[in-house]
Amino acid sequence: MNERAKITPSHLSRRAIVYLRQSSAAQVEHNRESTDRQYALAGKARDLGWPDERIVVIDEDLGLSGSGSAARSGFARLTSEVALAHVGLVLGLEVSRLARNNAEWYRLIDLAGFTDTLIGDADGVYHPAVFNDRLLLGLKGTMSEAELHVLRARLNGGIRNKAARGELRRGLPVGFVWGETDGEVRLHPDEAVVAAIRCVFARFAEMGSARRVWLWFRSEGLKFPLQMHARAEIRWVEASYTAIHHVLRNPVYAGAYVYGRTRQETILDPSGARKKRIRRLPRSEWQVFIREHHTGFIDWRTYEANQQRLAENTRPEPHKSCGAVREGGALLQGFASCGHCGRRLHTHYRGRKSAPGYHCAGKALVEGRGVYCLSVGGVQIDDAVTKAFIAALEPARLTAAVAAAERLEADRETALRQWRLAVERAGYQAQRAERRYRAVDPDNRLVARGLEREWEEALKALEAAKADLARRESERPHVISQQERERLLSLGPDLVSLWNANTTAPRDRKELLRTLIDEVIVKVDRDAFAAHLTLRWKGGALTEIDFALPRSRPATIRTDEDTVALLRRLAVHYPDPVIAGILNRQGRTTAYGHRFDRNRVGNLRRHWKIPGFQEKTQADGELMTIRQAADALSVAPSTIHRLLNDGMIAGEQLTPGAPWRIRLTDELKARFNSETSDDFLPMREAMQALNVSRQTVLQRVKRGELEAVHVMRGKQKGLRIKVLAPQLSLFAHTA
């Protein structure tokens, strides 16, 4: 059937979509002819009768694979337009441009058949609703998918064959470069780069932890080489833990050639979208693994030992020393086991001196409560293990100490060598910047100014590197001479003093213990106050140690008895915050010398089972605070304080520093009136009438000889005194 006969006015009334796709960005950039041919399909749609306004070009999927592994927004847009019957013709250069997997291809054919949509390529126009056309389209889709499989298998086969010979050139880690011959891998020609990588393996052999190696680089201020890809220049940056760990984990540094260590998988996320992930494979599933392929920084045996050490630092196995050495004082951290259940013992620290202890994480139910099957202090256990360890080292005398001093000198020399190489590198950069500056035309000031600035920065970096090197050389420790070495060896076996020296850190003691001891099994008999230790040495030898645990408990630290007694009296009348203020004003402290606060007062009260304060409704005759009394009498608290100081109102204190309390009675309320009779005189008139001082008047009021009230309203607001009879003195003036 003629392809134009399949086109009806219904098709022409809808859109014609030209779909473009190329598999990768490299094809889009370099295969321009294929791209031009696909854009030219718009002219074919125009020849078939579609006007320009109804021709739509979808080219947003350029550079995306059609295998179904990538989400194609353009193809999704095309499918939705076909499903909505907005499209009369779909044009593609060939079927492989539309899709290379049958799932998407047959979905498009089904939708096109339901909505009467035509599909066209370079060979012709097809109607999916017609059996013969649908059969032909299905065969083309199947061949397109098979073609992709064949191409991929052919390319992957060639890559695997070349990798099996160790000749496939892929990205190398920093420290290596490809040689001239096939599969030749050489060490980096930069001596500083090679020295930095060797320093990582040397420090790990000494410290046994990737984190400690990273901290050593940071403490020494050393830079680490970084190379983003094979053609990029080496950049010296701050050492990171990830870079150090990558060097220790990569088998290429052990002289091995590996290929296929990872596998790319496609999964569905919770929303149903496809997502790619990289999964690391075990060594048994690596596609290519060639030992001794090239010269490495370490041998394969050392690499395997390093991997085992890294695994033990993070994933311990039963009955094996595990975990990286930490800073705590517990010597058996990481390789002590419970003698009752076999679990690994955990460490804890208690008391003001942070005394170490060990406990088993396994809990048993005792009277309905979960308790540890073992929990014991670590001081006696660490002392027993230390004595056994020093006894085992006794024949070695001080040779180990001298060797450690020599190792320290070697470490310092390694760090200084890195700084010397940094000075050389900075000098080369300065010379290079100078050559570039002198090679430029002096009249071209735009370029000359930039090169001059780079030269100045390189010179500053060189001076800074020289200053750092000079400072570190001045801080270099004294080298042990031959006479000092012989004098040390003649001192005798003083290992106990060396072990207990302040300069020996807990981390160093733990490292020494792990060199000879594999495991310490701890078993405790609480009824007999005894402990039994089993030391398993390197090589399988066992040592049994029995010792008694202390029966007496440390003296209980208690709060002073008078403070507790005062708390009992205050808790009846005041809440915890007020009590804390009273105790602090009196200079009292807790059992550990801390100031009191609301929480500490509450904890002390609950420990001694002292009931807390409960506020009661106040009535006449009840005790009130100054603020409560001021509210009840409608005066200011300062007025109550003044009357209390003058003796006009009676008050009481439970203890110095405690708040005043006033008993509010009817008699006291009567002294506070809104108005009084003419018999009550102000204080000044009462003083003149009685011919006495103010203090004498207040004393008479306090003794009850004079009656006084406090007027709260009017111009005569204040204290009023009732004078019963005028008492004129001989010195009174007559009218």
Catalytic machinery residues: 23
Closest by alpha carbon to 724, among 688, 681, 671, 683?
681
3-state secondary structure 537-580: ECCCCEEEEEEECCCCCCCCCCCCHHHHHHHHHHHCCCCHHHHH
Closest by alpha carbon to 118, among 30, 10, 191, 216?
10
Look up residue 704 and give its DSSP letter.
T
Beta strands in 213-354 (DSSP E): 223-226, 235-238, 257-259, 262-268, 274-280, 288-290, 336-338, 345-350
- Give exposure, 510-542, as e/b (b: 16+ Cβ within 10 Å): bebbeeebbbbbbbbeeeeeebebebbeeeeee
The 8 Å CB, 24+ separation contacts for 233-236 are 234/174, 234/188, 234/190, 234/193, 236/422, 236/425
| Residues 6+ away with beta carbon under 8 Å from 525 | 531, 532
Tokens 């035509």, located at residue? 118
Phi then psi for residue 706, to 5 deg, are -120, 150
Virtual CA dihedral for 609, 610, 615, 620, nearest 10 degrees? 140
Would you state the structure tokens that stand for residue 247, as one six-digit string? Answer: 């060097």
Phi then psi for residue 542, to 5 deg, are -120, 145
Say how far apart CA 139 and CA 127 lie, in whole Å.
Answer: 14
Closest by alpha carbon to 248, among 183, 154, 140, 324?
324
Say how far apart CA 639 and CA 199 lie, in whole Å.
Answer: 81
CA separation (Å) from 722 to 47, 650, 683, 706, 716? 124, 20, 10, 6, 14
CA separation (Å) from 309 to 127, 206, 302? 67, 12, 11
Say how far apart CA 401 and CA 134 lie, in whole Å.
Answer: 87
Phi then psi for residue 344, to 5 deg, are -70, 135
- Give exposure, 705-719, as e/b (b: 16+ Cβ within 10 Å): ebbbbbbeeeeeeeb
Say how far apart CA 607 and CA 105 lie, in whole Å.
Answer: 78
Phi then psi for residue 527, to 5 deg, are -65, -35
CA angle centred on 291, ends 290 and 296, rounded to 5°: 120
Closest by alpha carbon to 511, among 334, 357, 280, 655?
334
Whether 115 contacts 85, CB under 8 Å: yes
Whether 229 contacts 346, CB under 8 Å: no
Whether 580 contacts 597, CB under 8 Å: yes
Question: Quick one: which H or E segment has residue 177?
Answer: strand 176-178
Would you state the structure tokens that stand for residue 699, as one six-digit string? Answer: 């004393």
